[in-house]
Amino acid sequence: MQKNGLHRLSRIARRHYKCLLLMKLTALVVLISCLQVSAEGFGQEVKLTLNMKEVTVGKVLKVIEQKTTYRFVYADNFFPAHLKVSVDVKEMAVSIILQQILQKTGFTFSRIDEDLIVITSLVKATQQFEIRGVVRASSGQALEGVTVGLQNSTIQTATNSRGEFNISVPEENGTLVFSYVGYVTRTMAILKDAEMKIVLEENIRDLNEVVVVGYGTKTRREVTSAITRVNADQFNKGNISNVAQLLQGKVAGLSVSRPGGDPNAEFTLRLRGLSTLGTNAQPLVVIDNQIGADLNTVDPNDIKTIDVLKDGSAAAIYGTRGSAGVIIITTKSGITGTPVIAYNVSGTMEKAGRFTSHMNANEYRQLKLGNDYGASTDWNKEISRNAFSHVHNLSLSGGVKGTSYNTSINYRNNEGVALNTGNQQFNGRLNLIQKALNDKLVLNINLNATRRKSQFGNSAAFKWATIYNPTAPVYSSDTRYNIAGGGFFENQGILDYFNPVAALVQNSNNGETKKFNFSGSAEYEIVSGLKFLVRYAQQTSSFNGYSYSPRTALSGGGFQKRGLANKRDDESFNQLYENTLTFRSKLNKLDIDVLAGYSYQDFLNQGFQVGAGDFLTDASSENINSALDFRNGLATTSSYKNASRLIGFFGRLNLNYNNLAFFQASLRREGSSMLGKNNQWGYFPAVSAGLDISQVIDIPTINNLKIRGSFGITGALPPSPYLSLERLTNQGGSYYAGNGVYLQTYATFVNPNPDLKWERKEEIDLGLDFALFDSRLSGSFDYYSRRTKDLIFNLTVPSPPNLNPTTWKNIGEIKNNGIELSLSYDFIKKKDLIWTSSVNYATYNITLSKLDESLKDSYVGASSLGSPGFSGLQVTRAIPGERIGTLWGIKYIGLKSDSTYLFDDGTGKPTDFSKAKEMVLGNGLPDFEFGWNNTLRYKNFDLNLFFRGSIGHQLINTYRAFYETPKLTGYNPVNTKFFNPALKDGKKFSSLEVENASFVKLDNATIGYNFPLASTTAGRAFKSIRIYFTGQNLFTITNYTGVDPEVRYTDVNDNGSINLLAPGVDRRETWVYTRAFTVGLNFLF
Amino acid sequence: MLLSTIIKSAFSGVLLLAVSCTKLDEDKLLYDQVTTKNFYRTDAELASAVGGAYAPIYSYSNFYFILSETTADEMVVPQRGSAWYDNGKWVRYSDHTYTRTSNNTDGEINDAWTWAFGGVAGCNKTLLALSNSNSPAALTYVSELKALRAIYYYWLLDLYGNVPIVTDFTNTQPPATKTRKEVYDFVEKELLDNINALPKTGPADGPNYGRVNYYTAMAALAKLYLNAGVFTGTPQWQKASDACNMIINSGLYSLTPTYLDNFKRNNTGSSEFIWAIPYDGTKAGGFSLHANTLHGLSAQTYTLVGGAWNGFSAVQEFYQSYIDPVQNPGIQGTVIGLDPKGTPTTGTLDNRLTNFLVGPQYAADGVTRLIDGAAEASDPDGQPLTFTPYINMIQPDCWAQAGARISKWQFYPGMNYNLDNDMAIFRYADILLMKAECTARLTGNWNEGTVLTTVNNIRVKHGGSGLVPLTSLTAASFLMERSREMAFESVKRQDMIRFGYFNASRRFNSADPSTHVNIFPIPEVQINANPNLTQNPGY
């Protein structure tokens, strides 16, 4: 039975303490040179009654460990086998007992911390040099219990709770070895006259590493489902504006994508592809036990670890929200000991990497497509800039007895490469842990506040820069062109065509996001091993948006409306209340871990928007009430407020037989108010098991080999509340009631469906974790097969007979299977030179296996190419029985002799447009994705190169579909290798604009240097200083002719809603792809 | 350990508290939603539900208008580069080459279906709500809603012919297609059954303006009978004539002194309006013809709020039918000509030329010529913006400035995205011409005295005294004169089918190989949703 002492060793680390020492210290005779070789009492200490005869010393120590909080450090075969002792004491202090039993054995003991006792040999206690130092993790946390040994000798000690050690060695030219569970062992030459500072890197492959699972933790060894842990040191570096960016390419099966370099754009996340048509196609995010948290409420600097739960079994404990996987973020917490202060600063220069290629002014003149205004303007250059961003992070962590804390403040200022875009964010976090009642009560408080100011700009500026007449000047005072009086050159005669510089410079489009999260929990150990926890958390997120187009701006409508302002206010709030009861026990060799819990979560979203124009002066724009539109009934407003509730009961059983076989079963019963009355509650079961084969079969090259299998059911909720109800809406505006009076009209618009239920995903995962050749090669392999049934869909139903044209229904089924492989290999593992290379690889095969009969030939998942000219043209669709992501249209074959198009008639024969047959032109989802990371460390230098690629996806290059033709009057045509000046036909969309967009890019390259501080003056003030340089997006290998070949996982419908079934459309509003260079400094005080 | 006991009890307490809360009733979480459970309680709520049945009417100018005009010889939407390409649907409308599968992209064919059946469903659900209401006011709406529903069915009858009919609102079994004759009979019966319960109010009667009254239902019956030959194979000229007479003899309606009175911005209550859509730029939107027809630069002419997309244009030959002295005899004057430059020439001065916007375009000051920097090098009149009635092609590269624009509903400065002008669905001049047509059909004589008188009365009153009264008529010249009066009022497709001209070849469009195109295909998505529907023959 383990006890929760105050000392800093984690439970798991303690359990394996001897295991560690066994590995490290076998056959060593331990010498110690501690502060005191003491036989004195420990002061206030526990008294024991013991009666044992002729037992090994180890046995006695074990009993003492069981009865007290003391822990002993020694090797298993440290005591000679013949050495037996007897003890018979009543209510005697431990120190006295120890003295008794160690008498005449040639051993002594010393307490190096509160309750950590090292047993040492009295032999050869001749020491000449006293070396001292401190060991920390890369995060700056002091590490307690690190074994510090002199290389090629038996001399050894361990660090105390402040990470400090003292060791006496016989000669001054030796090397010390530092080893610690879960960390990479390091060696370092002795520094005689200075305090040695050692930083240990966490070893992710270690089986004893603790990973976070739903409502608890497990060691890596015990994990029986597909869970990937990413530690802070593995995060992507450089210009990171979003937490999702940290994970890009790091986890097999997790796709993270944000095409273009818009600093305000969100990333799209997909775990094992699309598994739902419901609300959470993005994985569920849990931050410090707050379920459904917002990734952006945590600053990347504050994150300690990210655990990604990939399979259905791991996610099932999260019930109706687990279908798209779960990302669990754990922030840094404090450690008892000297306070650690860290300051990180970085600055980034970012520039546009690649613009949509078009004609320059001279080429445009030759094409005679529009008026020659005499200038030569590079519009791309005019709207962009070299953007400078900087990030500051100051954190303080530490703790005193019973209390630990971690607090940080962050400031980020990101500039976008487009004029007038960027954001400034301030974020503060406090994590506080307080123990009381003999450590039986643990109180935990997390507070986090964020305020971000954003300048969104207008992404259409990139489109207009591509197509605007390059012979037009940016500015003009000529009244024919200075139409709006703003001093800019404008032309009103062409659709969707504005001076892009004016669009960015004249208009403002800003917003402020405020987020406040609070989480508090209390855990009480009722009896040994049985803990009850209560948690309350709330998250508030609000957005205030404000945009204004002044009276002199043609784009944005300011000129026509005599100033046009828009204000919006959105707030989302949710509160979570949870209880859990956990019980841990051990029956012989069987570790049992049981969890039961209850969860209640309320969600509330509300907001409104006001748009109004007609201002007397731009100066009063922030006073929207001064807009005349209000007096004239022309102002627009909208508002919303909706709520939902989730209630869950859950339980889990974990069994671990002797670290050999593992079993887990869990069940959640959950209900959601968003579902139909008849189907509000559901069950989400999961089972998984694993077997560590390396424990059974002893093959020297195999260090670890575990097979595991799992099955789990998860759910997905509808995209918004109330969908099962028959609702009325103020439809079609007003209704004339005579005499100039207009009444509001109300009508139902959706049929009720009391049977609406959650989407149900069943998933099987078979996995293999392995470490070979002294753990130089390690990795894991997963095969999964999942099926999501009862897909939630807003189905078009026949009306008549239905009174309303749509019903939210459960129809259809998605199937997906794939493999995921992660491999890591230490190519070089020498004292001064380390080269580790790791690769992850994932495939998908997502098919829409079933769909309601009534949708058979319909354009489900259709996305239209858009205006102008292609607004009715559907270019994507989801076809039952086929892979999701289908790009749809007619197939280009060539040009006729008169330079008009020839298309495929469906049989491969050329025909003209009117007889061309629509067919599958490609797929917007990749066949596989991979990340390849290389870390090199040479003395104090480190180099990291990270490559990332997606292979096999196509993109519809909409820039080319709209503008790559010599026949478009006024617009500057797009000019790629496909541009054909001879083309005589009108622009049509076909396979000609569907391009292979496979790519490999050098995503991130970082070179860093750690200053050896001990011998410098600076070393007195700093614990460590690191400088690094990072380049992002340094090069991309692709055949794609657009600006960014990144996968587009979703598209946006005309009404602004997300279209999950329409990947593969590269929209004209995509920002340019950018390249960034960062220099950063990390200080540890 | 008292403290620990307290803590233990506290923990047990919250646990019990928590487990007891399992309530998920969404009705208790409603904030911004109105559900049928909490509606239809007051008379005002019932009235607003009746309004819901009328709501689709405001989209008439999007769907019924577009399908009726683009398939006829009045309006065309040429492809100008990539603008208005829309996967070829506009050309398909002109060319009558829509197919059963093209309606996935030929939006209006499906949109008009959901629009009209949306109206039917709007009536049905309101009737259902009324039947559950105890309010005495509920009964007063029933006949009005049934007549309104019959009119929605009349449009379905006209566009698609064979459609399902549903009057039992609780049965959700997908209904089967009814024949065009059955639909015709249903419309007739419903109108006749309910007409006498409707108020016999005229255009000046404020409270009923924009709503279905006795004469609205009568006008719908007149239209139904007028096209009975097309709808059922059996003409009903006498019934049509009688229905027209009921309206004419009421004495409530009269021709407006000027043509424009029916189309100006403040045309509410025009003496010709038997049923009009009471559009309002701010309160009741849906009418945005100006945005579809005007050029982007026209924003400067009219100080438009919102853009204009340079699309809908008048068919060149239709414009020609106004200025050509042979087709339209009258005083000659300077008009915009038919050459590619839109050069002023001599032609007939018909007041109804306000249906078109042609010639040089100016800024709001009326003096500054608008310059179109994007004008095609091949456009003979170059960059100064000039709307030429001449249309060089309908695809793929029609000049941006080609085509007379449709300005029948008077434009005004500061037009919002939605126009203020009301739009007549049934207009008195139409009824008079229908009556004249019936007389000609019944007598077999297009030169019958009252026919000529009626036609010339309207012609001179609306076209101007400079117009020479017609001395003789044929079916063709009658339709031509009717079209000059009724231009762009969503009647031309129906008229051309009735007169047998719909399938003939026109400039840019070849003759239809088959008359199946006289009704539209049942939209594929509707057949997929309801397998009991039968596709129209020929598709």
Q: What is A75-90 written as a DSSP string?
A: -TT-S-TT-EEEEEEE
Q: What is the pLDDT of residues A542-553, one digit of tens each?
A: 999 999 999 999
Contact B32 A600 (CB under 8 A): no
Distance from C-alpha of A1065 to C-alpha of A870, rounded to nearest angstrom: 14
Contact B82 A492 (CB under 8 A): no
Q: What is the pLDDT of residues A956-979, one digit of tens each?
A: 999 999 999 887 778 899 999 999
Of B164, B385, B416, the CB nearest to A634: B416
- Kindly indicate the confidence band of residue A123, based on its pLDDT and cuts at 50, 70 and 90: low
Q: Is A865 exposed, middle or buried (0-12, 13-18, 19+ CB in 10 A)?
A: buried
Cβ B294 vs Cβ B307: under 8 Å: no
Kindly give, in sequence order, each residue whose CB lies less than 8 Å from that of residue B451, ignoring residues fewer than 6 positions away: B436, B437, B439, B440, B445, B473, B478
How large is the average pLDDT for residues A475-495?
89
Contact B174 A579 (CB under 8 A): no
A858 touches B: beta carbon within 8 Å: yes
User: What is the pLDDT at residue B81?
Assistant: 76
Q: How many CB atoms lie within 10 A of CB B193?
A: 13
Distance from C-alpha of A1058 to C-alpha of B41, rounded to nearest angstrom: 37
User: What is the pLDDT at residue B398?
Assistant: 92
List the Cα angle A787/A793/A798 in 5-degree steps.
130
Of B105, B300, B375, the CB nearest to A873: B105
- DSSP secondary structure code for residue B36 in this structure: G
A1018 to chain B, minimum CA–CA distance in Å? 50
Q: Select from B34, B85, B524 the residue whose CB has the most chain A CBs within 10 Å, as the one to mutate to test that interface.
A: B85
Q: What is the pLDDT of residues A426-446, one digit of tens each?
A: 999 999 999 998 889 999 999
Task: Name the range with the highest mean pLDDT among A64-78, A185-199, B71-85.
Answer: B71-85
DSSP strands (E only) in B192-315: 273-277, 313-314
State the greatest distance between any 2 C-alpha atoms of chain B, in Å, as a whole number. 116
Q: Is the peptide bond before A700 cis (omega within 30 degrees of 0)?
A: no
- Kindly indicate the confidence band of residue B2, based on its pLDDT and cuts at 50, 70 and 90: low
Cβ A344 vs Cβ A1028: under 8 Å: no
Cβ A599 vs Cβ A555: under 8 Å: no
A990 touches B: beta carbon within 8 Å: no
User: What is the pLDDT at residue A28?
Assistant: 32
User: What is the pLDDT at residue A738?
Assistant: 74
Task: Name the range with the highest mean pLDDT among A90-104, A237-251, B60-74.
Answer: B60-74
Residues of B in contact with A534 (CB under 8 A): 11, 14-15
User: What is the pLDDT at residue B193?
Assistant: 97
Contact A440 B207 (CB under 8 A): no
How large is the average pLDDT for residues A254-267?
88
Contact residues, B window 81-140, toward A, CB-based 8 Å cutoff: 81-89, 97, 104-107, 114, 117-118, 120-122, 124-126, 128
Residue B117: what are its φ and ψ, rounded to 5°? -70, -25
Q: What is the pLDDT of residues A719-774, one digit of tens each?
A: 899 999 999 988 656 777 777 788 888 888 889 999 999 999 999 999 999 988 87
Contact residues, B window 142-201, toward A, CB-based 8 Å cutoff: 164-166, 168-169, 171-175
Residues of A in contact with B296 (CB under 8 A): 492-495
Listed range (A40-54, A298-312, A348-362, A891-905) with the worst mean pLDDT = A40-54
Contact A869 B307 (CB under 8 A): no
Distance from C-alpha of A285 to C-alpha of A246, rounded to nearest angstrom: 14
- Kindly indicate the confidence band of residue A9, based on its pLDDT and cuts at 50, 70 and 90: very low
**A260, A442, A837, A1004 from A932: Cα distances, Å:** 21, 41, 7, 11
B265 to chain A, minimum CA–CA distance in Å? 14
Distance from C-alpha of A1070 to C-alpha of A742, rounded to nearest angstrom: 42
Of B49, B107, B305, the CB nearest to A746: B49
Residues of B in contact with A640 (CB under 8 A): 32
List the Cα angle B515/B519/B524 in 5-degree steps.
115
Q: Is A895 exposed, middle or buried (0-12, 13-18, 19+ CB in 10 A)?
A: middle
Cβ A342 vs Cβ A1084: under 8 Å: yes
Residues of A in contact with B97 (CB under 8 A): 914
Residues of A in contact with B102 (CB under 8 A): none
How large is the average pLDDT for residues A349-367?
92
- Kindly indicate the confidence band of residue A235, based on its pLDDT and cuts at 50, 70 and 90: confident
User: What is the pLDDT at residue B105?
Assistant: 63
* Helix, strand, coil abundance in chain A, percent, nearest 5: 10, 50, 40
Of B7, B210, B286, the CB nearest to A736: B210
- Kindly indicate the confidence band of residue B119, based on its pLDDT and cuts at 50, 70 and 90: very high
Residues of B in contact with A755 (CB under 8 A): none
Contact B125 A747 (CB under 8 A): yes
Query: What H or E segment, with its residue span, contains residue A269?
Result: strand A268-271
Cβ A486 vs Cβ A552: under 8 Å: yes
A874 touches B: beta carbon within 8 Å: yes
Distance from C-alpha of B95 to C-alpha of B104, rounded to nearest angstrom: 18
Q: What is the pLDDT of residues B433-442, one digit of tens each?
A: 999 999 999 9
How large is the average pLDDT for residues B498-511?
95
Contact A985 B385 (CB under 8 A): no
Residue A926 has pLDDT above 80, yes or no: yes
B206 touches A: beta carbon within 8 Å: yes
User: What is the pLDDT at residue A506?
Assistant: 96
A590 to chain B, minimum CA–CA distance in Å? 29
User: What is the pLDDT at residue A18?
Assistant: 40
Amino acid found at A297: T
Residue A518 has pLDDT above 80, yes or no: yes
User: What is the pLDDT at residue A20?
Assistant: 37
Residue B46 has pLDDT above 60, yes or no: yes
User: What is the pLDDT at residue A23?
Assistant: 34
Distance from C-alpha of B182 to C-alpha of B157, rounded to nearest angstrom: 10
The four Cα atoms B181, B184, B186, B191 give a dihedral, to 10 degrees, of -160
B392 touches A: beta carbon within 8 Å: no
A748 to chain B, minimum CA–CA distance in Å? 8
Residues of B in contact with A668 (CB under 8 A): none
B506 to chain A, minimum CA–CA distance in Å? 19
Q: Is the peptide bond before B235 cis (omega within 30 degrees of 0)?
A: no
Handedness of CA B392, B395, B400, B402 (dihedral sign): positive
B285 touches A: beta carbon within 8 Å: yes
B529 touches A: beta carbon within 8 Å: yes
First to last CA, chain A: 38
Copy the structure tokens of residue A992.
Answer: 């000609």
User: What is the pLDDT at residue A181?
Assistant: 65
Residue A261 has pLDDT above 50, yes or no: yes
For chain B, the average pLDDT equals: 92
Q: How many CB atoms lie within 10 A of CB A281?
A: 22
Distance from C-alpha of A744 to C-alpha of B39, rounded to nearest angstrom: 14
Q: In what order do the strands lie in the sheet with A175-179?
A: A156-158, A147-150, A175-179, A186-189
Contact residues, B window 31-90, toward A, CB-based 8 Å cutoff: 31-36, 39, 44-45, 47-56, 58-59, 79, 81-89
User: What is the pLDDT at residue A35?
Assistant: 30
pTM: 0.83
Contact B299 A492 (CB under 8 A): yes
Q: What number of C-beta contacts closer than 8 Å exist between A and B?
A: 333
Amino acid found at B160: Y
Q: Is A942 exposed, middle or buried (0-12, 13-18, 19+ CB in 10 A)?
A: middle
User: What is the pLDDT at residue A3?
Assistant: 37
A747 touches B: beta carbon within 8 Å: yes
Contact B22 A671 (CB under 8 A): yes
How large is the average pLDDT for residues A379-406?
92
Q: Which of A511, A515, A517 is nearest to A536 (CA)?
A: A517
Distance from C-alpha of B224 to C-alpha of B155, rounded to nearest angstrom: 10
Distance from C-alpha of B319 to C-alpha of B516, rounded to nearest angstrom: 28
**A285, A421, A542, A839, A994 from A295: Cα distances, Å:** 7, 22, 15, 25, 33
- Kindly indicate the confidence band of residue A31, based on its pLDDT and cuts at 50, 70 and 90: very low
Of B29, B39, B310, the CB nearest to A673: B29
Q: How many CB atoms lie within 10 A of CB A351?
A: 15
User: What is the pLDDT at residue A17?
Assistant: 43
Q: What is the pLDDT of residues A632-669, one digit of tens each?
A: 888 999 999 999 999 999 999 999 998 889 999 999 99
Q: Which of A946, A947, A945, A977 is nearest to A960 (CA)?
A: A977
Q: What is the pLDDT of residues A980-1006, one digit of tens each?
A: 988 888 888 999 999 999 999 999 999
A623 touches B: beta carbon within 8 Å: no
A220 touches B: beta carbon within 8 Å: no
Distance from C-alpha of A920 to C-alpha of A882, rounded to nearest angstrom: 10
